[in-house]
Structure 1
Amino acid sequence: MNGRLQRLSSLFRWIAGPLLAVLAGWHWGPWGFVGVLLLFVVGPALAMLPGFLILRFIPPAPGLPVAPMGDLLQAWWREVVVVTRVFSWQQPWAEHQEPDYLPPPEQARGRRGVVLLHGYSCNRGLWNGWMRELRRRGIPFIAVTQEPAFGSIDRYAPVVDRAMRTLQDHTGLPPLIVAHSMGGLSARAWWRSVGHPQDRVHRILTLGTPHHGTLLARLGTTENAKQMRGDGEWLNQLARDEAGRWADHFDCLYGHCDQIVFPAETAVLPGARVLHLRARGHLQLVFEPQAFERALTLLEEPALSRAA
């Protein structure tokens, strides 16, 4: 369903744009055709720009930098590129281009695997680049699509649990979770649903996850968007259930140019290790080499004590 919705949206954009340009050309001549076509080509990029510029006026926590204008403009342009790639190709048309990788048991045993969790309104196609590189390195992985796309985050726990159990049964080791945005909350909700056992997960690397909510969620109307409101009961209950017992399992990668999860400090859990990136937008965090390198490092780290 997630991929089908994105395919319909992609088709509408690429069919409606040229069609309206032809109609404009018929009514207003060549300049009308060119003007409407340009609007469909550059309009989405221009529509993204205010989301970055507003970050100049949202003060971060003490000690964190206000994003310089140059960083915001760099982040905006990088984000335009990756958003176009992800929402025009990877997710609508290449969601299943890269299958999960479970090598033969004799190769997989003792080789820690990775579960990849996407964020809001995305699907597993987001991770195509990661999946190709993990397969090249012989690292087992499962990337899930969390559905229903706009349902409760708690409803994603069973599919996460299946992926975690499959990889652990196949390799003999608890997997690493790498999660973008809402996916980090899915990971936390899953761990709560199974009682926070220390032997079910190795580490959790979150990329731009709204651990403490995001101001943008106040505009959301879907159930999972409302759950990402910082003053909402869902996030507050999640934190109470955890009681700060296992933040040492987390690495939080974030940036001060994130136009979706802000203020910047909302993407960091107290007690977690933190990696801060400059001039990177929200989706760009997935494509950042430092994110993949951190995941490789975490795969090699020793297991934490069960008493942690």
Structure 2
Amino acid sequence: MAWLLAASAWFVNWWPQAPAVAVGGLLILSTAHAGVLGVEFIATRRVSRSDSVARASAFECGRAWIAESWIAARVFCWQQPFRSRAFPDHLPQANGRRGVIFVHGFLCNRAFWNPWLEELRARDHAFVAVNLEPIWASIDHYVQTIESAVQRVTAQTGRAPVLICHSMGGLAARAWLRSSDPSRVHRIVTIGTPHHGTWLARFSHTANGRQMRIGSNWMRQAERDGVPAGLFTCWYSNCDNITFPVSTATLPGADNRLASGRGHVEMAFMPSLRHQTLDLLES
């Protein structure tokens, strides 16, 4: 809404006397987020150049930047503000199908998962997509939200669910797992999750942002606690503009899968990634 007000004010003010300035300013306001994303892609390529994972080419990063600029605008300016209840949680009568719990990442809400929810609704799989609130709380604060979702889906299906998590959501799932029995979940899938922190978090001063810094107390404790790596499938990208260096999105011993040349948000909207992940419901 702030962007719409700023763009409207600029356009109305300049159009009578300088139409070119009015249109130019509107274009700049419309593409400012792409500039910020561009800086992130430059940073991930530079910071990841000594990482153990193969470095992305300039062409791959350029393609990922263009795709991320479009998808991020669609997610953050349309889906999340206006479509967060387009696909309500679905808990059908027991039909033998395994259920799913979706856990979004930093500064997101359940609408992030809309394409996934639509597909699972068509398949008649039970699912719950949580909202992690408050948005700037400690990651540990979200444990009860996930616990409630696990209880709801398990009670309806009689089967251990799959947790599908994007970015910080994967860390919230690990925090939940720390105090739970691993047998209560069939699998945990993470997409672009900073399992070992992310370089970019050094600029965040929120509680959960500080926890995602490389070497933070929260990260060191997570390393000491460990995880049953065989329970995890970790999607990562060599063009991830939020979680980098690239290898921070992987876990030793886990089923680590590369989504080459994809941005942080774009990964979750790849049909191939979605279908391979949903195949794990039957495995």
1:32 aligns with 2:18: no
2:246 — aligned with what?
264
Select 1:65's aligned residue among 42, 47, 54.
54
2:101 — aligned with what?
115
Whether the 8 Å contact between 1:55 and 1:67 is mirrored in structure 2 is no
CA distance in 1, matches of 2:50, 2:92: 45
1:85 aligns with 2:74: yes
Tell me, what secondary structure is at the counterpart of 1:252? strand
Give CA deviations for 1:129-163 in whole Å, capped at 9, x if unaligned: 10000111111110000000000010100010000
- Aligned-residue sequence identity (percent) comes to 41
CA distance in 2, matches of 1:300, 1:259: 32
> RMSD of the alignment, in Å?
1.4
CA distance in 1, matches of 2:52, 2:182: 33
- AA paired with 1:254? Y
CA distance in 2, matches of 1:186, 1:159: 10
State TM-score, norm by structure 2: 0.96
1:285 aligns with 2:261: no
2:214 — aligned with what?
230
Give CA deviations for 1:223-258 in whole Å, capped at 9, x if unaligned: 00000011101011122123x4x1100000010100
Deviation (angstroms), 1:117:
0.4
Give CA deviations for 1:18-77 in whole Å, capped at 9, x if unaligned: 212222335x52122112111111222233212112333223555421110100011001
- AA paired with 2:220? N
Larger displacement relative to structure 2 (51-60 or 37-46)? 51-60
Select 2:256's aligned residue among 260, 269, 274.
274
CA distance in 1, matches of 2:182, 2:25: 56
1:8 — aligned with what?
none
2:122 — aligned with what?
136
Tell me, what secondary structure is at the counterpart of 2:73? helix
Q: Mind listing any 5+ residue stretches in structure 2 that lack a counterpart?
A: none
Tell me, what secondary structure is at the counterpart of 1:58? helix
Larger displacement relative to structure 2 (59-68 or 77-86)? 59-68
- AA paired with 1:66? R
CA distance in 2, matches of 1:142, 1:63: 36
Q: Mind listing any 5+ residue stretches in structure 1 that lack a counterpart?
A: 1-10, 302-308
Whether the 8 Å contact between 2:200 and 2:242 is mirrored in structure 1 is yes
Select 2:192's aligned residue among 197, 203, 208.
208
CA distance in 2, matches of 1:94, 1:59: 35
State TM-score, norm by structure 1: 0.88
- Number of residue pairs aligned between Structure 1 and Structure 2: 283
Whether the 8 Å contact between 1:17 and 1:40 is mirrored in structure 2 is yes
Whether the 8 Å contact between 2:51 and 2:246 is mirrored in structure 1 is no
1:19 aligns with 2:9: yes
Whether the 8 Å contact between 2:45 and 2:239 is mirrored in structure 1 is no
Deviation (angstroms), 1:293:
1.8
Tell me, what secondary structure is at the counterpart of 1:229? coil
CA distance in 2, matches of 1:199, 1:137: 25
Give CA deviations for 1:196-216 in whole Å, capped at 9, x if unaligned: x13211100000000000000
Deviation (angstroms), 1:291:
2.1
Whether the 8 Å contact between 2:104 and 2:166 is mirrored in structure 1 is yes
Tell me, what secondary structure is at the counterpart of 1:151? coil
1:102 aligns with 2:73: no
Deviation (angstroms), 1:294:
2.3
CA distance in 1, matches of 2:93, 2:53: 47
CA distance in 2, matches of 1:62, 1:215: 12
Flag the 1:49–1:233 CA change in 2: closer, same or farther, 3 A.
same
Larger displacement relative to structure 2 (15-24 or 233-242)? 15-24
Tell me, what secondary structure is at the counterpart of 1:299? coil
Flag the 1:24–1:276 CA change in 2: closer, same or farther, 3 A.
same
Whether the 8 Å contact between 1:24 and 1:36 is mirrored in structure 2 is no
1:221 aligns with 2:210: no
